Amino acid sequence: MAKSDVKAPAKEKEAKKAPVLGKAEITIAEKLVELFRLQTIDSELDRIKVQRGELPLEVQDLEDEVAGLETRLKKLQDELAEIEGQVTDRQNQIKEAKARIKKYEGQQAKVRNNREYDSLTKEIEFQNLEIQLAEKRIKEFKAQIDAKKGVVDESKAKHDERRKDLDVKKKELDEIIAETEKEEKELSKRSAAASKSIEERLLSAYHRVRSNTRNGLAVVPVERGSCGGCYNSIPPQRQLDIGSHKKIIVCEHCGRILVDEYVVGRVNGAE
């Protein structure tokens, strides 16, 4: 038998045993470190948002209210202008009617018979009735104008008051944002960078837990044998499991991811 025939199976066996080279699998401990680092950064961002308090919502509410008042005020002013236009139209009708009366009275002096005179007299009477009707309508329109002006003045006063409130609140918010803008941008960059180092499944779980907690804490340390989020006691065996870093463990009560002193030290020591 040829030598090559004997050595071939040995080489094949050796090839099967050869390790596959590539990126080393990240350990559970490292995953927890990255998660807690992200939590630390996001908590700082939360702190900045807490500083702003309810101001952003108050500003938004006032902006909506001011916009609504401006729309109402414009509508009222348009209605007022329309009524004033009606008054002008009726005043013009009165002028035209008076001009016709003057014309008909002049024609009466030149008529040749009673029939023409009576016809012109009826026209004059009709124009006088038109004047009376127009004057009545003008009186009604002016009453509407007075009432509408009162509503416009009230709406304008309310608008101006809310506008002042908005300016004050916006100034307060702008001052807070100016104080924290640089820090917030830096933290946002760090949060985005930290998120990239975490696998999608864990990152999704992190955001899900975080969105379901009032304080935004999804990853918390074990403190004096208790969960750092809900403060419920953690059994000794579970504490040992957390410290072994063999798997990611969550609190049985609140669902937060639990980390030990080693993970906290790694993150705080790097800050």
* pLDDT tens profile 223-269: 999 999 999 999 999 999 999 999 999 999 999 999 999 999 999 88
**Euclidean distance between CA atoms 25 and 8, whole angstroms:** 33
Query: The pTM is what?
Result: 0.56
H or E segment to which residue 227 belongs: strand 226-227
At 214, phi and psi to the nearest 5? Answer: -70, -35
Angle between helices 200-211 and 28-52 (to 10 degrees): 40
Q: What is the 3-state composition of the chain as percent helix, strand, coil, each rounded to the nearest 5?
A: 75, 5, 20
pLDDT tens-digit profile of 174-230?
A: 988 888 889 999 999 999 999 998 999 999 999 999 999 989 999 999 999 999 999
> Do the two domains 24-51+199-271 and 54-197 of this chain adopt the same fold?
yes
pLDDT band at 17 (very low <50, low <70, confident <90, very high): very low
pLDDT recorded at residue 180:
86
Residue ranges per domain, the chain?
A: 24-51+199-271, 54-197
pLDDT in tens, 143-174: 999 999 999 999 999 999 999 999 999 998 99
Angle between helix 114-196 and helix 55-108 axes, rounded to 10 deg:
170
User: Could you tell me the fold of the domain covering 54-197?
Assistant: Helix Hairpins (1.10.287)
Instruction: Say what the pLDDT of residue 68 is.
Output: 96
Q: What is the mean pLDDT of residues 110-120?
A: 91
Structure tokens, 197: 């180092």
Taking domain 24-51+199-271, whether its CATH number is 3.30.70.2190 is answered by no
Q: Classify residue 232 by its DSSP letter.
A: -
